[in-house]
Amino acid sequence: MIRSARDLTPETKVGDLEGWQFISPDQQEARKKFGEQERKKHKEKEFVFMKKEFFSQAKQGLNLGEVGLLLFLARYMRYGDGGKLTHQKQRLTVTEVGKLIGRKPTAVRKALDELEKRSLIYKVKEGRNVYVELSDDLFVCGSLNCEKVETVKIFKVKLAEIAKKLSLNELGLFMLMLENMHWKTHILCDNPEENDTTKLILWKRKDLCEATGLGRNFVNATLRKLMDFRAIGEVRTVNEGIVLHPSIVSRQRRTPTWDEIVDAIDNGLTKDNYKKH
């Protein structure tokens, strides 16, 4: 009996292939497509998409803690489950959200009420429980169904790591930074959709302060924490620039490595790219 492909010879007969399975070219192609779909689905379970344009509009009037709360909640999304949030296999209630962030119920309800007014979250009452759900206009965990929008992928495992160590205000600053992350080099800039890297207008820390209206001490302290947690990094070529690490966010179909980001910066940027004042 033939047990492996290396035992096949021109003299091999059909009867020698007892137990083998034969599939047609059409079946092979179908299996290939199915495998690709499963790999895509597996990858999509690891991150949530943040829709940039919607966030840019929706953030207006929110305080920093409310923005941070949105990002904090995104880590509890599950693949293909819409905006439902789950912790330890249980849906998140308003009370549970308060416990997870260590806030008093009144403070949590106030923040959630503000987000609900803007249709960024929904509170769903079922029996005695009031569950919290995120709007899929802002976050999606799963397929975008060919929706043509600019997005940022946020990796949930890394987000969970840093969310435990940052305040909601610090998380809020990080989320604001995502709007101006360049799609290829991950560096903060005025023109994050620019294809020509040499034309980027880079931000220094003071530019981040000006764009957000936040004090330098708070921004510097938060960036130090993010550096310690490897959520951001420095590149020697533009060491005053702020580069977001691909272990937590990405804007490309295939997430680049840190070395690829460094190469893209080194091959296209100089200190002359910094924003002029």
110 lies in some domain:
yes
pLDDT-wise least confident of 7-11, 48-52, 115-119, 209-213: 7-11
Quote the strand ranges of the chain, DSSP E.
47-51, 86-87, 90-91, 121-126, 129-134, 139-140, 151-155, 232-233, 243-244, 249-250
17 lies in some domain:
no
Structure tokens at 234: 């420095």
- Last residue in a domain, options 110, 140, 170: 140
Q: Are residues 185 and 132 in the same domain?
A: no
pTM (two decimals): 0.83
- Last residue in a domain, options 140, 170, 202: 140
Q: Check pLDDT > 60 for residue 130.
A: yes
111 lies in some domain:
yes
Which pLDDT tens digit goes with each residue over 75-91?
999 998 999 999 999 99
Q: Are residues 136 and 56 in the same domain?
A: yes
Q: Are residues 57 and 110 in the same domain?
A: yes
DSSP state of 276: P
**Amino acid (1-letter code) at residue 23:** I
158 lies in some domain:
no
58 lies in some domain:
yes
| CATH for 255 | 1.10.10
Q: Check pLDDT > 70 for residue 140.
A: yes
34 lies in some domain:
no
8 Å CB contact between 169 and 157: no
Domain range for 113 is 47-140
118: enclosing H helix or E strand: none
Q: Are residues 123 and 51 in the same domain?
A: yes
Which pLDDT tens digit goes with each residue over 27-41?
767 666 655 554 444
How many domains in the chain?
Answer: 2
Q: Are residues 59 and 129 in the same domain?
A: yes
76 lies in some domain:
yes
- Last residue in a domain, options 118, 140, 162: 140
> What are 51's strand-pairing partners?
151
